[in-house]
Structure 1
Amino acid sequence: MSAADESALLATVPDGLLIAGRWVPASSGATLDVRDPATNQVLKTIASATPEDGILALDAAVAAADEWAATPPRVRGEYLRSAFDLLMERKSDVALLMTLEMGKPLAEAAGEVVYGGEFLRWFSEEAVRITGRYGINPEGTGRTIVSQRPVGPCYFITPWNFPLAMATRKIAPALAAGCTVVIKPAELTPLTTLYVGKLFEEVGLPSGVLNIITTHQSKAVSGPILSDPRLRKLSFTGSTPVGISLLKQAADNVLRTSMELGGNAPFLVFEDADLDKAVEGALLAKFRNIGEACTAANRFLVHESVAEEFSTRITEAVNGFVVGRGTEEGVRIGPLINEAAVAKADELVQDAVRRGATVQTGGAPIDRPGTFYAPTVVTGVVAGSDILRNEIFGPVVSVTTFADEDEAIRLANDTEYGLVAYAFTKDLARGQRLIEKLDTGMMGLNSGVISNASAPFGGVKQSGLGREGGFEGIHEYLSTKYTMTPNPFA
């Protein structure tokens, strides 16, 4: 891909705020620079919203709410389906845009376009399947009617690591349910969300249904929106500390909330595991998105009888990874999102080494332009190491061992998080026990990839509240109303 192609694509991305169907500059004239983490070069300068702009976006969502809620479900679904079709037509452009602003390899970015697009298609189909019920009360004195209504205007805060999928995973069910939206993408990767706004504009989505605000002052802009009684729903994907802070703010207006927060995923390899499949699954679960995913395997818990062979195979595979800018041919590991991410990954590795772990490969930042960290395998990680407690968000495999199933389960559950777990075993009964005993909202059993638009995504404990995707996803944007009527035959 040439520099001219990249420039041409970037020129098609709006640089303003999408408010009430118009692309407008920030009211203050403020801007922010979006940079390529592989080069640190500025990709595009865009508007940076003020708190006043945030309220204008909410005004637009509120003004459009009643008409959008009254729009027939089939029509709402057709807007989503049209956006899906257009996204698939522009697949290569959107993939390149994500690679430029986030750093992931181009092939992975193309995979995210397919994954993120599926939320548009899935919820276009769910829009017409919102149901209620009618029945006789037990006493026979009346009739009960249960109906579903859109919760109302929504505010979405999305992270930088999956710029497309994190936007469509929230926008699609909200629009399908009849809710209007204000979305604030991450400051580091806002361009893809702006492009999504352009796609919806092209398919004719009514003004004010989807509003996009980009800003470098997230707290200042979000605060007034969250305190406004007209807002009825908050959905956030990001770190647990920020999620807790937002929940406290949401409590003042008793907002409906969905929280997809931090993870500390265990990856269990038992003595009877098919090691070929376990290694393949490990590479997917760890190195997808350069390890910068809440679903990334964080702690590799391997039975002591197969730990050496598993670690050797993983190390051999990692040594073959090509590191570079995501647009380059054959690259498996792109840059981390910024210098802070590199420093965090390195500190976790060095802490493990100080406590007795051994670096099999990697273990240091790469001396080249951009924010690169070498793909790393660390073995012999001991209890108490920070790398076992904190989300790595980088291309680092940390291996520790267990002696039996009970110890494996205890180690896996020894965290305040509970998003996803992975386990490899040929024992069906053990697999069933793990489903019941592992404290996570999701699980990959003999599989290193779990995300799918048709499945409910979410965690337990401090990994969050609510579910995104699946049949469950649209219900996050619906409120249940019960009506009692007299017995019509009395």
Structure 2
Amino acid sequence: MLYINGEWIDSKNGTFQVTNPATGEILSEVADGTREDTKRAIVAAEEAFHSWSSLTAFQRSDYLYRVYNLMIEKKEHLAEMMTKEQGKPLKAARNEVQYAADFVQWYAEEAKRVYGEVLPAPRGDQRFIVLRQPVGVVGAITPWNYPISMLTRKIAPAIAAGCTIVLKPAEQTPLCAIETMKLFHEAGIPNGVVNLVPTNNPAEVGDELLTNETIKKITFTGSTEVGKMIAEKAARQVKRVSMELGGHAPFIVFPDADPVHAAKGASLVKFLNTGQACISPNRIFVHKSMVEPFTKTLVERVNKMKAGNGLEEGVSIGPLVDRAALDKVNNQVNDAREKGADVVAGGSRLNDDHLKNGYFYAPTVLTNVSPEMKIYREETFGPVAPIIPFETEEEVIAMANDTNYGLASYVYTNNLKTASHMFEKLRFGIVGINDINPTAAAAPFGGMKESGLGREGGREGILEYLDTKLGGFSI
């Protein structure tokens, strides 16, 4: 179903099927939104903007708190839907629902923290006043890998700021978006404030969001390739754009760190969501004196990981999202193998009887990885950990920064000087120092270089949806 102007409606274009990537079973059929549906949603959002933006911040905050309470109440239902549709283990899905709810709660408070300013003026008869006002109707495009938290990370700050929104979810995970939108409806959010247009033709719906003059801002999470195209099209109307794009995160282990502790951390963050996370480490740089104990521990942990349907007990590795993702991972591993890398764990598709209908790839560890390999340069988005030795701090800084990406990075060291130096020198928007989870609703999330524009989360997140207006008063 489409959710437009507070109503659940069908699309004239019919429906498309949604499948479980772990089993191949058809979960449901979803309305296949069109350009015309998107136009209707934009009209509804524009009409709702005038009244919604006129509400007090306290009133908008109250609505968001209602949504937050419903998300907590329905956490198990949302988590089970996510596991069926996206594939991640149920425990990870529960964690994501909580993370998604955290954004709603945080921006329920930040709605009341949008401050203006009175500035000193050079003339005695002059006063400067700064207001921050909502930009207008927002077009949002969200990914499949975190199909609920990426919704609330955009919707919550947008409507907290006083904007209205039209959202296109990933075609792989529209059911999670529908179930989340039901909570906004149940919370009594006024008609037209939030609108949902699932589609199996993302180019058509996305193009309408980009070219429709009513849309004043685009927020996008996805690949760098698509992000560049969006930025180009949005620039033609000077639309405001914020985007969180691809990553190629380095994970650096210095000789003063505990290699066993570092390997445990690497295994947790590398194989989170089966490696399908933009902050997932893609290049693991280990000091040459630590390579052997680090690799030994990592391989031991990887070999204990259980792949399967995320609803089953003990599963830590779910499926990749589709055949294309599986082929990409397999291609990178084969390329590395052909160019001299050693596969010390995994290295192939998993097609046992209970896995053959899903897109499973064995959690994999590669050693002797070198710069000419695809995996050294390209984002993997899969369960492959390439280990690369280094000797000096200067060398590893150069190798880590040798990428067009700049989202997340990780450093393991017990030396305060090294930690401080790496925090300053790494050209990444996020640096985890002995920390594999440097994210929270209260913290700004985003990248440098080709990993994105703007920030989500924190007090910075709501500013992406506000215009700054200066008033000059002569008195």
Question: Which TM bucket (shorter chain)?
Answer: over 0.9
Give the one of 60, 80, 94 matched to 1:110.
Answer: 94
Q: 1:40-80 CA distances to partner (integer Å, 9 max, x unpaired)? A: 11100010011100100101100101100001111111111
The alpha-carbon deviation at position 383 of structure 1 amounts to 1.6
User: Could you tell me which residue of structure 2 aligns to residue 53 of structure 1?
Assistant: 37
- Within-5 A mapping of 1:228-307: 228-307=212-291
Are residue 25 (structure 1) and residue 25 (structure 2) matched? Answer: no
The alpha-carbon deviation at position 227 of structure 1 amounts to 1.1
Q: 1:407-429 CA distances to partner (integer Å, 9 max, x unpaired)? A: 11001001000001000001101
Q: Match of 2:7, as an amino acid?
A: R
Q: 1:169-197 CA distances to partner (integer Å, 9 max, x unpaired)? A: 00000010000000000000111111111
User: Could you tell me which residue of structure 1 aligns to residue 462 of structure 2?
Assistant: 474
- Within-5 A mapping of 1:155-234: 155-234=139-218
Give the one of 76, 86, 95 matched to 2:79.
Answer: 95
User: Could you tell me which residue of structure 2 aligns to residue 5 of structure 1?
Assistant: none
Give structure 1 regions of 4+ aligned residues with deviation exceeding 6 angstroms: none
The alpha-carbon deviation at position 341 of structure 1 amounts to 0.8
Give the match's secondary structure for 1:462: helix
Deviates more, 1:118-127 or 1:361-370: 361-370
Are residue 465 (structure 1) and residue 450 (structure 2) matched? Answer: no
Q: Match of 1:78, as an amino acid?
A: D
Distance in 2 (alpha carbons) for counterparts of 1:420 and 1:90: 31
Are residue 377 (structure 1) and residue 365 (structure 2) matched? Answer: yes
Give the match's secondary structure for 1:104: coil
**Any stretches of 5+ residues in structure 1 without a counterpart?**
1-15
Q: 1:218-273 CA distances to partner (integer Å, 9 max, x unpaired)? A: 11122123211111000000000100011111011100000100100000001111
Deviates more, 1:166-175 or 1:127-136: 127-136
The alpha-carbon deviation at position 19 of structure 1 amounts to 0.4
Conserved? CA contact 1:281–1:449, under 8 Å = no
User: Could you tell me which residue of structure 2 aligns to residue 145 of structure 1?
Assistant: 129
User: Could you tell me which residue of structure 2 aligns to residue 331 of structure 1?
Assistant: 315
Distance in 2 (alpha carbons) for counterparts of 1:145 and 1:268: 47
The alpha-carbon deviation at position 285 of structure 1 amounts to 1.7
Distance in 2 (alpha carbons) for counterparts of 1:436 and 1:157: 32
Q: Match of 1:460, as an amino acid?
A: M
Instruction: Report how many residues are paired.
Output: 471
Q: Match of 1:422, as an amino acid?
A: Y
The alpha-carbon deviation at position 136 of structure 1 amounts to 3.2
Q: 1:79-110 CA distances to partner (integer Å, 9 max, x unpaired)? A: 11111111001111100000000000000000
User: Could you tell me which residue of structure 2 aligns to residue 3 of structure 1?
Assistant: none
The alpha-carbon deviation at position 140 of structure 1 amounts to 2.5
Distance in 2 (alpha carbons) for counterparts of 1:175 and 1:265: 32
User: Could you tell me which residue of structure 1 aligns to residue 474 of structure 2?
Assistant: 486
Are residue 394 (structure 1) and residue 382 (structure 2) matched? Answer: yes
Conserved? CA contact 1:418–1:462, under 8 Å = yes
The alpha-carbon deviation at position 451 of structure 1 amounts to 1.7
Distance in 2 (alpha carbons) for counterparts of 1:190 and 1:450: 28
Conserved? CA contact 1:284–1:449, under 8 Å = no
The alpha-carbon deviation at position 139 of structure 1 amounts to 3.0
Distance in 1 (alpha carbons) for counterparts of 2:231 and 2:120: 39
Distance in 2 (alpha carbons) for counterparts of 1:138 and 1:193: 51
Distance in 2 (alpha carbons) for counterparts of 1:302 and 1:443: 17
* TM-score, scaled to structure 2: 0.98
Q: Match of 1:92, as an amino acid?
A: E
Conserved? CA contact 1:443–1:450, under 8 Å = yes
Give the match's secondary structure for 1:459: coil
Give the match's secondary structure for 2:472: strand
Conserved? CA contact 1:83–1:120, under 8 Å = yes
Conserved? CA contact 2:30–2:174, under 8 Å = no
Distance in 1 (alpha carbons) for counterparts of 2:174 and 2:292: 43
User: Could you tell me which residue of structure 2 aligns to residue 13 of structure 1?
Assistant: none
Conserved? CA contact 2:218–2:242, under 8 Å = yes
Distance in 2 (alpha carbons) for counterparts of 1:380 and 1:311: 11
Distance in 2 (alpha carbons) for counterparts of 1:144 and 1:284: 51
Conserved? CA contact 2:24–2:358, under 8 Å = yes
Conserved? CA contact 1:237–1:261, under 8 Å = yes
Conserved? CA contact 2:309–2:315, under 8 Å = yes
The alpha-carbon deviation at position 450 of structure 1 amounts to 1.5
Q: Match of 1:254, as an amino acid?
A: V
User: Could you tell me which residue of structure 2 aligns to residue 439 of structure 1?
Assistant: 427
User: Could you tell me which residue of structure 2 aligns to residue 4 of structure 1?
Assistant: none
Deviates more, 1:310-319 or 1:382-391: 382-391
Distance in 2 (alpha carbons) for counterparts of 1:136 and 1:399: 55
Conserved? CA contact 2:168–2:205, under 8 Å = no
Conserved? CA contact 2:264–2:297, under 8 Å = no
Q: 1:283-331 CA distances to partner (integer Å, 9 max, x unpaired)? A: 2220111110000011001100001110110000000011100000000
Q: Match of 1:146, as an amino acid?
A: V
Distance in 1 (alpha carbons) for counterparts of 2:154 and 2:420: 31
Conserved? CA contact 1:326–1:334, under 8 Å = yes
**Any stretches of 5+ residues in structure 2 without a counterpart?**
none
Distance in 2 (alpha carbons) for counterparts of 1:126 and 1:56: 30
Are residue 409 (structure 1) and residue 389 (structure 2) matched? Answer: no
Give the match's secondary structure for 1:454: coil
* TM-score, scaled to structure 1: 0.95
Are residue 361 (structure 1) and residue 345 (structure 2) matched? Answer: yes
Q: 1:15-38 CA distances to partner (integer Å, 9 max, x unpaired)? A: x1000010000133x211010001
The alpha-carbon deviation at position 275 of structure 1 amounts to 2.2
